[in-house]
Structure 1
């Protein structure tokens, strides 16, 4: 039976996570503490029983590990010019104070801003909002990967986490997504980040012949599709089109 793309993704990432831990000279328990998870959770990453979420990836990026390499195996393990942090570890560092004009950069690597997501509904944990439109941190990517592979303008990208499980199996809750904000309007079908009533949604959009829009989830068994009439479709607040999740969308 052929392996699913998701399994192959986890398997390749897990091997590189082992390399990162050995590079830092840490035990699984120490590595988990360093990135803000338990030692058992980190062990599950290495055993391919779980995939690291965006918070863990952001910690690794802050330590200087290149996200292209971590997620795809392309390029070098360490971002250009990255030095090893103090023994205290990056888990104890203060959050990066980044503004939109501070991200990007002119070298081979660039920083893509990652926005903080806050749970609004503590009972379900599914409604999320972009917190004060402020940046939590930024994640390093190779500039040529963004331009040549994703065909995107690096300055127009933002990183967010999938806010729920509505798009499984395409991607899971907590997965890191890149959205191209240069596409704030619906252009054919695709997966988009939407802002609705202070919440952040990631949905598949499909235009209808009459000008209406079908808003659907890949996890259709739990999340029924909705149809929006033509006169209401223009009110959709599209943040950007999702173009990447650990690989080309």
Structure 2
């Protein structure tokens, strides 16, 4: 079974679930569920496992052949020495939830309650340069930001950005409606634009009642 071979591969390399997750770009929780057979890794995850850990895709999928590529038995690729991590090196990212009343009663912005993100703490604090306490996740809806952002992409939002100091993509709330827009400030005017030319841009006064900057989008985790 694939889940058993994943566990066998990880143990052969001497990696914890957190270390294995770091090398293939996923979360320890995902690795745990994959090893239990609760999740089946998709093509992109399998590609990373083979590329980053020198695993033989034929063995991984069928159990036939050698576990590792020829000449790489039980070793990580050059320059990929195990990173010693602990459970404290990963942090959960709080999903952003905003309920909006629509004719069909849909919740427009909501991460699935079972899709809590676990991200590598140094990546958040050193690469994104923000504190884990102010980062939220949300699932992109609609096509107004195509091709930059696509429906299903998971966005990370810096909740400490409550004003538009620099041009960028922001999560905003206007009159109770939430939206992701590219925002630029010129004096007292905010220009809310869409990367998809099929949608119109909008100009709003920064002092407009009911307008709130929720945060700036700082990263995108593409949907596979």
- Under a length normalisation based on structure 2, what TM-score does the superposition of the two structures give? 0.59
For residues 106 and 65 of structure 1, the distance between their equivalents in structure 2, rounded to whole angstroms, comes to 7
Q: Which residue of 1 aligns with 2:38?
A: 89
- 1:84 Cα deviation after fit: 4.6
One of 115, 135, 140 as aligned partner of 2:96 = 115
1:87-236 alignment, distance < 5 Å: 89=38, 107-116=88-97, 120-121=101-102, 128-129=108-109, 137-208=115-186, 210-221=187-198, 223-232=199-208, 235-236=210-211
Task: Report the RMSD for the aligned CA atoms in angstroms.
Answer: 4.0
Separation (CA, whole Å) in 2 of partners of 1:198 and 1:128:
12
Query: Shift of the alpha carbon at 1:245?
Result: 0.3
Q: 1:119 to 1:90 in 2, by over 3 A?
A: farther
Change (3 A) 1:87 1:152: closer
Count of aligned pairs between the two proteins: 166
Unpaired segments of 5 or more residues in structure 2? 7-16, 41-85
Extract unaligned runs of 5+ from structure 1: 1-20, 27-63, 92-104
1:128, 1:199 within 8 Å by CA — same for their partners in 2?
A: no
Q: Per-residue CA shift, 1:27-72, capped at 9, x if unaligned?
A: xxxxxxxxxxxxxxxxxxxxxxxxxxxxxxxxxxxxx789x85xxx
1:56 corresponding residue in structure 2: none
Change (3 A) 1:112 1:203: same
Matched residues in 1 for 2:183 and 2:31: separation? 39
Normalising by structure 1, what TM-score?
0.53
